[in-house]
A and B are shown apart, each in its own frame.
Chain A
Amino acid sequence: MTRFLKHFRYVMGENPVTVIAFSLFLLIVFLALFGPWLAPYDPLATDAALNLKPPSWAHPFGTDHLGRDVFSRVIVATRLDMGIALSAVILSFGIGSALGCAAGFWGGWTDRIVGRFTDTIMAFPLFVLAMGIVAAMGNTVANIIYATAIINLPFYARVARAEAGIRRNAGYVSAARLCGSSDARILATQIFPNILPPMMVQLSLNMGWAILNAAGLSFIGLGVRPPAAEWGIMVAEGATYIVSGEWWLALFPGAALMLAVFCFNLMGDGLRDLVDPQRRT
């Protein structure tokens, strides 16, 4: 463990950008957990007298067309956005790694069926498929999560398949087999923990793209309904006012979205440095 910590410090020291990414990540987690208590105003409270006010000391991000405080809404939205993306990513991580492990470990027909299934998903433009899934299953937040999970599934399945395939005949797998472990047990206790590091990198890289996807879906009016605070829908609401010069409605939620995605992408690169044995000295 101390070796890991040392390596962690080394990676952090070598690349200051990763430090920024990890700090941003902590900030996002903090806002997602405590956002509703930190927001200075009620994110849903309207005030007709205060509509479309530019940023000021009282309202650092200005107010929207209903007089709601944009700063509070951006903070409170963190939880919903992260919740959607995280649930989707965890779902596709779970199902994708199970399918991928099975395909890589057993090969043969299992591999062919899983491969055909993931190829079929990849044959669609992914965002368009997500739109189709939400349209078919109904326009709810839960279905946004399922749709995002389904379109991300192939990426996990592929990584897991490749990693499990390399390890199917590894020494420790043969040893476990010799000890009389069943295939399922070997998969769960030997293969899965060993493919976890590359899967975590995939997870972090994928998280940013899941956030973008979910926000894109709510931008076109799927899933999250007004007046709920969510970055994608806030940008969509602000879009109408951008041609008349009220830039702060769309800018701040959009910037929050961008920073979150940026943070997860950078962190994915950082994690890759952390787990990549070739860079470990």
Chain B
Amino acid sequence: MGKIWVDDNWYEVNPDQSLLQVCLELGFDLPYFCWHPALGSVGACRQCAVKQFRDENDTRGRIVMSCMTPAAEGTRISVKDSDAAAFRAGVIEGLMLSHPHDCPVCDEGGECHLQDMTVMTGHNYRRTPYPKRTFHNQYLGPLINHEMNRCIQCYRCVRYYREYAGGTDLQAFGLRNIAYFGRQEDGILESEFAGNLVEICPTGVFTDKTLKQHYTRKWDLQMAPSVCVHCGLGCSTSAGERYGTLRRILNRYNGEVNGYFLCDRGRFGYEFVNSEQRVRQTLSRQDGRLKPVPKKKAVEQLGDILKGKSRVIGIGSPRASLESNFALRSLVGPDRFFNGMSDESSHLVSLMAEILRQGPARSPSLREIENSDAVLVLGEDVSNTAPRIALALRQSVRQQPMEMTDKMKIPRWLDHAVREAVQNDTGPLFIATPNETRLDDVATDTYRAAPDDIARLGFAVAHALDFDAPAGADLSDDVRQMAERIAQTLKAAKRPLVVAGPSLNSEAVIQAAANVARALAKDGKEAGLSFTMPEANSLGVSLLGGGKLSDAFKEVEEGKADTVIILENDLYRRAPARSVDNLMQAVRHMIVLDHLTTPTSSKAEFVLPAGAFAESDGTLVNNEGRAQRFFQAYIPEDDIQESWRWLLDMMKAAGKAEAGSWNVLDDLVSAAAGAVPALAKITEAAPSSKFRILNEKVPRSPHRSSGRTAMLANISVSEPKPPQDPDSALAFSMEGSPAQPPGALTPFFWSPGWNSIQSVNKFQSEINGALRGGDPGVRLIEPPQGGSAMYFSGPQKAFQARADEWLLVPLYHVFGSEELSNQAPAVAKLAPKPYVALNAADAARLHVEDGAQIEVSLDGTRQKLPVVVHPDLPKGIAGLPAGLVPLEGSGLPAWTKLSRS
């Protein structure tokens, strides 16, 4: 720590940081635009000026940009100084010369950093009578709206999009006061992280186009801390509602997980909650058709079924909360509970959980992934299966080059100086996947191969690191040399990382990744092993336990069960259609709880409308093993309620003893923590419903929430009593404690004078650090210290292309492969049409060209699909877009015949 003087008071600060950063940390309201905590300093906007003095005798001082000046020991500055304050107001005046001042009709209004900074500097009168410059706005796709006239040329958009996120199609054009930030021509922004522009832009140039469909001001939103459900990473989000519909998702800073950024699937996938496909009423089958029934009556009927002689089994879900899964498990009994994943997935998830439990390699958080300095990716196309990891890996390749700039004494926050010194140099990142990935541009080397060959490369790397690790048999010289190179590089790194996952449905790939990480750990490295997970709660459900799906089918087939309760699950995505059809024909009662109408729910006897994430409370366990709580943003209309609440209702109706004392979320959390040792710590994921700040709850709405008394005035002028929330410490109100809640309970970021998302700096213990009181979530899996683990023996045969068959592998799409977001219209627009991918040689072998129709036969079903030529796919391999072709339940990879149609 070092000492600096600010306006004649001294403070202890980190001298390695910029003055702007330490001033913000000290609580000074210093305005800025081009600086961003994740992007560092470039000195463009000149907004953060302060007066710096040479020593205590210097009374004149000089204006410096606090973002470009180190907070070196002994620095003396004044923030209040009248010259500096006048300069800051002058900069705002300059920025506002051509700004349209259209706040009342701007989507950013009320949460605009430009508004906040303008007010902060005191500038309020436009002294120029000249016309403003205007621009053409572009169509940038279904997610982002473009309004260039509002631009203040801070360059944050292009710095984020190009330099941080690796996009290429957003650029700065032109110069002087007409710099233009857009694409070369109208078109959909290519990066899957484009949505962050909404938060990066300090004003209303880039705004959320989906919010525009049902626009609401920030101050009118009712918000809750939430967790993204669209992949296994569990990014923290803030879900905002008004008038019973979910209006938008905003990033919720979590220092260990998503930091400042989300992927576009996570940001824009929310619209499924408002979907036409929602189940809103309790349905029961009458005369062969599903018809609405009163909720109470349905519960009574269900109680009767469950009380009777029915032999009930429950099928849980990796996309439902721990509490809902646990309630189902309690209702049917642990040995009659099945986890609802496909057999392959269930096996792989439990294998990954076991590997992480044994260690010694540990599952890193996203922050730790970002700080890794050498990475091997085995089998995962993370840009599509766990996108936020891809953004973190893009930062990880800067770690080694930045050691060089450290030696040149260039501070890491001096962003462009670092980038100019580093140029295109990247640290090690090796990617082994069947097809090209959107991280290849920063990869040291890529290896395109079949799943088995990817595994064999992994085994060879492990063997090269440690002779005791089994080698992959008969490797080609090229692969052996590549394995040697990768091993040397990982070994030379300080924080090596292996990334793998279940997306290729390959046990061997996962075992290979474990071997590499274990060999590194044995060598004394702090090796990270990051597995992606297929869905939001795959790991949680796996920790909860439960049988596999085929056993559930067997129970029914063998007559051991005649009633099945299916929790938030479309079984047609989990198993071959034949098996699911057989199950449905064999059971007497099929009860489905879900948000959306699915092929499964449409065949049920009872369909119970389940609350989606924004309408429920619950706990999800992400790929790191971090349990995180999400909270209800609003109480849904109609019969919708949390799945666990339906299940409690059913238990009570059936007279189950344990349900007697279970009423609210806390009861289920404690019960699950008590019943399942692996979940013992989930009570710590967030404060309980008893939590209060000075006896008050945490308000879900900003204190400026203006409409509560007016919202329903067209129906009755008497304001209805706000609903109570027995399940959390949050209130459905703008009333409550104005103090900062703990991170896990923070519904939105707001601080006096800081209405925009930039106010997050007021919630952090230090800039880019943990939220005050700790980042949300609790890690459930920590490997034993100093433990050593066995190696998997793996050598399998090399992949052999066949003469008349192709190995069909799943290819993932950030937009399209995930079930729920695919029901969001904006995301669905970006999903590709079903296709089959082949490399050029194989396409030629089949005498088909790009776009030609080809017939794929699999599991007895046939599908005609257009061919898309992917030059990178290995010979003998064909790709199908995951989640987009109705061959879903059939486990891939599988051998298939392809024929010209």
* A and B from one complex: no
* Interface, chain B (partner A; CB < 8 A): none
